[in-house]
Amino acid sequence: MSDSSTRPNADEEWENLLHQWQTEVAVPPRPYFYGRVHARLVNATGAKHPPLRTWRHWPAYAVMLGILLLLSGDDAGLHAVSGVQESNHQPEASFSGE
């Protein structure tokens, strides 16, 4: 059993407890904190940009695809267009051919 005459009063106990709490949280972050913040910042910035860049690339991809179709050896691009026209005229051709 504790002796009440030697026991510090409630205010003192409170102050001691506060002091213990202050001591416990008075720790710095782990070393190289800035390095980790910087890495996080780079990640955050990097994550924001790709969708924007992808958007910028889309017209270029469309133009490249068009050029590839036009320049391809078997005239796939032209056939693709003329094929549609031929298929529209085909019933007449087959009729006259008979």
Partner 1 sequence: MVAQLQQGSETAFRTLVERYQDRIYRTVLALLRSPEEAEDVAQEVFVEVYQTISRFRGEAALTTWLYRLATSRALKQQRRARARKRFAYLTSLLGFDNRVLYEPADNDHPQAQLEGRQQVEVLRAHIARLPDQQQVAFTLRHEQELSYEEIAAVLSTTVSAVESLLFRARKTLRHHLQPTLRHV
**Positions that interact with partner 1 (CB under 8 A):** 2, 7, 10, 13-14, 17-18, 20-22, 24-30, 33-34, 36-38, 40-41, 44
Question: How far is residue 97's CA from residue 91's CA, in Å, rounded to a whole number?
Answer: 10
Beta carbons within 8 Å of 70's beta carbon, 6+ residues apart: 77, 78
Q: Which two tokens stand for residue 89?
A: 């005229």
In this complex, which beta carbon is closest to partner 1, that of residue 27 or of residue 52? 27
Question: How far is residue 42's CA from residue 73's CA, in Å, rounded to a whole number?
Answer: 45
* Closest approach of partner 1 to the CB of residue 52, in Å: 16
In this complex, which beta carbon is closest to partner 1, that of residue 28 or of residue 51? 28
In this complex, which beta carbon is closest to partner 1, that of residue 1 or of residue 84? 1
